Amino acid sequence: MADWEAELAADLAQRRADRLYRRRLVVEGPQGPLIQVDGRQLLSFCSNDYLGLAADPRLAEALQDGVRRYGVGSGAAHLVSGHSAAHHVLEEELAAFTGRDRALLFSTGYMANLAAVTALVGRGDTVFEDRLNHASLIDGGLLSQARFKRYAHADADALRTGLAGPAAGRRLVVTDGVFSMDGDLAPLAELASACADHAAMLMVDDAHGLGVVGADGGGTLRVAGLSQRQAPVLMGTLGKAFGTSGAFVAGSEAVIETLIQRARPYIYTTAPPPAIAVATRAALRIVQTESWRREHLQGLLARFRKEAVGLGLRLLPTATPIQPVLAGSVERALAWSAALEQAGILVTAIRPPTVPAGTARLRITFSASHDDAQLDRLLDALAHLPEVADVGQ
Ligand SMILES: *Cc1c(COP(=O)(O)O)cnc(C)c1O
């Protein structure tokens, strides 16, 4: 073996020894509460398909219709010849949905975040990020070459202290709307007020909020009542509640045109298939009209929280479909996840470094497509988790 290959193998062996090794499941059919893995049916509580739209036949029909009208590939980047009428009209509808002047589509949320942060700040500027921000926001901050400052999780006072420091260049404050591992909401009104007092821009990644949070699915910014002026950069993903794929950034004319002109993850990549945009338009209509999906989800969440607390499980204070159950040690989280899998239930164990040491957990996520009997199965399995001492890290 070449030296470099031996090094890679040693590193992988170390990950295995640390019980940090990750494996992929091969899912055989469509997404849904029941998925087929290795010929076995599992009840899944770990997808981000919050409204149960990923396998909705109306989306599949719209996608097929899109393929009939636009073919499969977009053929080029948006700035060359890949920007289709399907993309364009979806952007207009997303702008209207979010109450922003304009919206701009991206192939993935990861790229949208790299694009927005790197286009809005650079060398000589400063980016402030919540410690628990999604990896793509952190990576965008690092790639931008702006001064990089993290503030304590969901702590607007800590942000204020940072913003009160020396101010050269532009300042961009970046936060998740709903934090992906804890399920809690950012204190958006306080963050926006700190930004207003210090002439900083606020960017909110609402990947887990749009479509889910608020009676109309308008997301965390709508619930906080923040206008485009107060929260000028809104990022949303389409692969979670919307059930399709891709993402968008919404904001003012100046923000969106800056992204089009400057954002390398926008300029140097092939536009997503137009048919995906057609399917996403169908999803947007369902998100806006079928509020029973959010109501059903809230019913499941309320019952889960009440009964899980009754079982003595440690939950976090959140009303979102992301419901972590704290285990503590990696060993305990893995043993719990394995026990659930034995019972035919799929729930991922989240370990450091994704979460802080000592806070390994089960990350349970709910979907509007779960029914009460499936929740009963989950609660019954949680009532029979094995005893595992909470030792180690
Ligand atoms: C999933 C996620 C992303 C990335 O979106 P993709 O479309 O999956 O690339 C970005 N931010 C947050 C908070 C997310 O949860």
Task: Please check whether residues 202 and 71 belong to one and the same domain.
Answer: yes
Please write the tens of the pLDDT for every residue from 79-102. Answer: 999 999 999 999 999 999 999 999
Whether 119 and 187 map to the same domain: the answer is yes
Q: How far apart are CA 153 and CA 40, in angstroms?
A: 40
Q: Which residues contact 287 (CB under 8 A, 6 or more apart)?
A: 51, 53, 211, 217, 241, 242
Q: Which of 241, 267, 289 is the last residue of a domain?
A: 289
What's the whole-number mean pLDDT along residues 30-44? Answer: 95
Residues 84 and 170 in one domain: yes
pTM assigned to the model: 0.96
Secondary structure of residue 200 in the 3-state scheme? coil
Residue 381's domain is classified under what CATH number?
A: 3.90.1150.10
Q: What distance in angstroms lies between residue 321's CA and the mean position of ligand 1's atoms?
A: 15
Q: With a 6 A CB cut-off, is 176 part of the ligand 1 pocket?
A: yes
Total residues belonging to the chain: 393
Told to judge if 208 belongs to the known catalytic residues of this protein, a careful annotator would answer yes
Both 200 and 81 in a single domain?
yes
Which residue lies with its CA nearest to atom 7 of ligand 1?
109
Give 388 Cα–ligand 1 centroid separation in angstroms. 33
Per-residue pLDDT at 273: 98
Ligand 1, closest atom to CA 237? 7
- Whether the ω angle into residue 353 lies within 30 degrees of 0, i.e. cis, is yes
| Best residue for ligand 1 mutational test, from 108, 113, 136, 137 (most atoms within 8 Å of Cβ) | 136
318: left (phi over 0), alpha (psi -120 to 50) or beta: beta
Residues 281 and 323 in one domain: no
Catalytic residue among 87, 240, 296, 370: 240
Per residue in 154-204, pLDDT (tens digit) is 999 999 999 998 878 999 999 999 999 999 999 999 999 999 999 999 999
Q: Is 233 helix (H, G, I), strand (E, B) or coil?
A: strand
Residue 13 lies inside a defined structural domain of this protein? no
For ligand 1, whether the C-beta of 304 sits within 6 Å is no
Domain boundary among 250, 267, 289: 289
**134 CB less than 6 Å from ligand 1?**
yes
Residue closest via CA to ligand 1's atom 6 equals: 109
C-alpha separations of 197 from 46, 163, 194, 201 in Å: 40, 9, 5, 11
Residue labelled with tokens 């609660």: 379
The percentage of the chain sitting over the pLDDT mark of 70, rounded to a whole number, equals: 99
What pLDDT does 390 receive?
72
Q: How many domains does the chain have?
A: 2
Do 241 and 346 have their domain in common? no
Residues 77 and 196 in one domain: yes
136 lines ligand 1 (CB under 6 A): yes
What does each C-alpha distance from 76 to 96, 111, 119, 269, 271 come to in angstroms? Answer: 27, 17, 21, 8, 6
Confirm if 333 and 361 have CB atoms less than 8 A apart. yes
Kindly give the residue spans of alpha helices, DSSP state H, lying in the chain. 3-17, 57-70, 85-98, 109-120, 135-144, 156-163, 188-197, 219-224, 253-262, 264-267, 274-289, 292-310, 330-342, 372-383
Same domain for 334 and 199, yes or no, is: no
Domain membership of residue 1 (yes or no) is: no
Residues 281 and 324 both lie in one domain: no
User: Which of 254, 289, 324 is the last residue before a domain boundary?
Assistant: 289
Tell me if 162 sits within 8 A of 148, measured CB to CB. Answer: no
Please identify which of the residues 44, 180, 337, 369 carries the catalytic annotation.
Answer: 180
Cα separation, 372 vs 381, whole angstroms: 14
pLDDT at residue 387, as a whole number: 82
Residue 11 lies in a domain: no
Cβ(180) to ligand 1 under 6 A? yes
Give the angle subtended at the CA of 25 by the CAs of 22 and 29, to the nearest 5°: 160
pLDDT digits (tens, 9 = 90+) for 242-289: 999 999 999 999 999 999 999 999 999 999 999 999 999 999 999 999
Average pLDDT, the chain: 96
d(CA 326, CA 358): 9
In this structure, what CATH number is given to the domain that contains residue 118?
3.40.640.10
Among candidate residues 78, 83, 87, 208, the one labeled active-site is 208
Confirm or reject: Cβ of 108 under 6 Å from ligand 1.
yes
**Would the CB of 78 count as within 6 Å of ligand 1?**
no
Residue type present at position 367:
S
User: How far does the centroid of ligand 1 lie from the alpha carbon of residue 351, in Å?
Assistant: 18
What does the DSSP 8-state code read for residue 51?
Answer: T
Is residue 130 in contact with ligand 1, taking CB distance under 6 Å?
Answer: no
Q: Averaged over 45-50, what is the pLDDT?
A: 97
**What spatial distance separates the first Cα and last Cα of the chain, rounded to whole Å?**
34
Q: Is residue 6 part of a domain?
A: no
Q: Are residues 361 and 281 in the same domain?
A: no
Domain presence at residue 113: yes
Q: Give the CA distances from residue 169 to residues 106, 120, 123, 199, in Å, rounded to whole numbers and listed in that order.
A: 27, 11, 9, 11
Q: Which atom of ligand 1 is nearest to the CA of 240?
A: 1
Q: pLDDT, tens digit, for every residue of 338-364?
A: 999 999 999 999 988 888 899 999 999
Residue 306 known to be catalytic: no
Residue 393's pLDDT is 47
